[in-house]
Every structure is written in C-alpha cells, then in structure tokens.
Amino acid sequence: MILHDRKTRVLTSMSGLRALTNFIEVNLFRIFKTIICGIILLERKMKMTRILYEKITPDHVDLIKDLCNELMVYQKSLATIAPERFDSMSFETRMLPSVENASANFILVAKDGEQIVGYVYSNVSPKDVYSSEFATFFDMDSVKTAEVGCLSQFYIKEGYRSLGIGSVLFEKSMEWLDTFPEIEDRFIYVSNGNEAALNFYISKGFKVSHQILDGFITVLRNT
C-alpha cells in the first residue's frame, strides 16, 4: 500500500512537472513572438520617420534610372504572359519617351537619407500617344478631351513595401492630377502577374476597364 502511494505521488509529480514545462514553453514562445513583433513594428516606424518625399524635375529624371530598370526586372519576374516583352523595356525605352511626349510631368521620389527607395511618375499627355504600333491602350472615342492623365510608373524597393509609402506616392499623384480639372479621364496600366499592384489601385477607387495585348496589360480607369 505504501509503495503504491509513493508510486502514485511520483507519477503525479512527474505529470505536474510536464504540465509546468509545457506551460513555460508555450508562454516563452508567446513572449518571444511578442518581442519579435514589437521589434519589427519598431523598425517599421523608424523607417517611416526617416522617409522624405521630394519632387524632381524632368531635367533630373536620371536620378530614378536605376529604379526604373529595377521595375522592369521586377515586372518580368511576376509576368506569366509574354514576360520576354520586358527584355526591350528600360529607362531609355519607357521613361524617357513618356517624359518627352507628355504635356506635363510629375515625378515624386521617396528617400531614406540620400537613397531613393521608391518613386511615382504621372503625366498628362495627348491621348493619341496611347495609340501606336505597339498597342492601342483604350478606345479613343471614349475620351472626349484631347488629353488624358496617367499614373505611368510606380515602384518601391523591397524592404520598404507595406510601410505606407505607396499610399503617400499615390495620393500625391492624384493631388497633382487634380490641378488639371479639364482632364476627366485617368488611366493606370498594370502588367500581368502584378496582383498586389492591381488590388492596390482597385482599393484606391480605380476600376478594371479591359485588357490589351492578350492579357499582357490590364487597363484601369477612374470612371
């Protein structure tokens, strides 16, 4: 009887010890997870406080050459339809012609110290610019004015995404386009595979209008 009682107490103690150990492990994991999340949030806040926004003129568009080329590589990495099209797309073939053909340009960069970590490029251009051998981007007859607004390029470096930088760049672009009240139609062109960008613009009020080049580009419109 005594031996049985001792055995019972030992088993009870071992069971209690295991329960205590499990309790400690679970709570240590929760504490560790909370600390890590807190550190990540702190780093995000510190990054945001360092970000400054600066408008640059077309004369200094070379400042975003590297990021523009990085954007083309990024878009190709996401594309599932004709990704090889991006091989001929670069700062020289995309950005410079757009700037030259536009009636007005808006380039805003996000900077962490002296490093440019993101940019947005919007313009007001004659609608005929968007009809060429490459593609006709929208129904010309659906636009009643001679010019249209476009958010043409938008890119944020990895490590700086999901910090609110994109929303700032987007809103500043829309504010700039608002200074052209005669421009009723605004377009955004999203390459295939970039679902994050597509959903971002939809969340900001743009609507999917149609696709061109067999789905290579999705056209979004403000109306």
Specify the CATH number for the domain of residue 118. Answer: 3.40.630.30
Going from the C-alpha of 126 to that of each of 110, 116, 123, 158, the distances in angstroms are: 28, 30, 10, 34
| 37 located within any domain | no
| 6 located within any domain | no
Per-residue model confidence (pLDDT) at position 31: 60
> Rounded mean pLDDT of 41-45?
50
Per-residue model confidence (pLDDT) at position 19: 67
Per-residue model confidence (pLDDT) at position 223: 82
Per-residue model confidence (pLDDT) at position 61: 98
Domain count, the chain: 1
pTM of the predicted protein model = 0.79
Percent above pLDDT 70 for the chain: 81
Residue ranges making up the domain that contains 93? 51-221
Q: How many CB atoms lie within 10 A of CB 108?
A: 19
| 210 located within any domain | yes
In tens, the pLDDT along 124-155 reads: 999 999 999 889 999 999 999 999 999 999 99
